[in-house]
Amino acid sequence: MRKSRRLEMGDSVGVVAPASPFKRERFDQGVAEIERLGFRPVVSEATFARDGYLAGDPVLRATALTESWSDDSVMGLIAARGGYGSAQILPLLDKSLFCDSCKQFVGHSDLTAFLAYLTTHCGVVCFHGPMVMNLAGGESSYDRDSLLRVVMNAEPLGELTGDRLETLYPGEAVGPILGGTLTQLAASLGTPHAFSPPPGYVLLLDDLNEQPYRIDRMLTQLSASGLLGLASAVVCGEFPGCDGPVDHTTVREVLGRIFKAFPGPVLFGFPTGHTTGPTLTVPLGVEARVVGGRRACVAITEAAVL
């Protein structure tokens, strides 16, 4: 896995919109937060394009992302928001560009399609973290400490935990941490850009507002594909809004049932991606240690930047 240079105060950060459009007022608040963090946001006119539920047509979004990645003055990129559309641009990208050059990229949710592309197809470390819409909410929406430490310091992020993090199944395992939003990981299967992690990886899973049966269906698909069999540990996010409103089945019950025979540690309630509080920034593609027991934690044991 290749790593980008660490960010420094005053560096330019490109803001891109590979998925859905956004509300301008909240976007401006998020951009202002980037400035408060000490960086210079770079926003092109393409970011404000609209095409129904998409932030412009696929060619426009792919071109804007490519131009920002290719701009030598831009040291890192952050997504405006998720929603839908990231997978549409993958066939339009020049893979050699992303394999031959390396920049920081931060996002989650629908951007999992691009994060999986960068990590498992291009070999580039990237970041499962807040988008501009999260930054707009200030430190009640994102964890400032983990974001700045992971993108600015060439040292391991160390131990990460949360008030709601618990052990579903105990154990200890190490491996490169990869994954993201379950919906996007499952949707990638059978495509040229399918999520394709190495044996022994740590699987990070996250999602929002999905019915328990849909969570079950997607995990069953991951299992049938062999991806669960490759994992050494599973770290599940908070999965807000994923409990059943009618039969009262909880997402925790579903995860517990699906992973009952899993041989490694399984954690639930890790605060990254879709969360009820500040979202942690987690580097993808670097070594992590997962500990499931009386005190559950995820420790990032490898630096994510140079």
Measuring CA to CA, how many Å separate 184 from each of 30, 37, 108, 256, 293? 24, 30, 10, 21, 29
pLDDT more than 70, % of the chain: 100
Q: Using one digit for the tens of pLDDT, what is the confidence trace for 110-163?
A: 999 999 999 999 999 999 999 999 999 999 999 999 999 999 999 999 999 999
Contact 153, 289 (CB under 8 A): no
Q: Using one digit for the tens of pLDDT, what is the confidence trace for 253-266?
A: 999 999 999 999 99
- What domains lie within the chain, and their CATH numbers? 12-152 (3.40.50.10740), 158-300 (3.50.30.60)
Confidence of residue 301 (pLDDT cuts 50, 70, 90): very high
d(CA 164, CA 139): 18
pLDDT over threshold 90, residue 248? no
pLDDT over threshold 90, residue 291? yes
Q: How many CA atoms lie within 13 A of 140 on its CB side?
A: 2
Look at the block and give the residue holding tokens 């930047």: 305
pLDDT over threshold 90, residue 246? no
Average pLDDT over residues 2-11: 98
Question: Minimum mean pLDDT among 70-79, 165-174, 238-247: which range?
Answer: 238-247
Sign of CA dihedral 254, 168, 189, 125: positive
Q: What pTM was computed for the model? A: 0.97
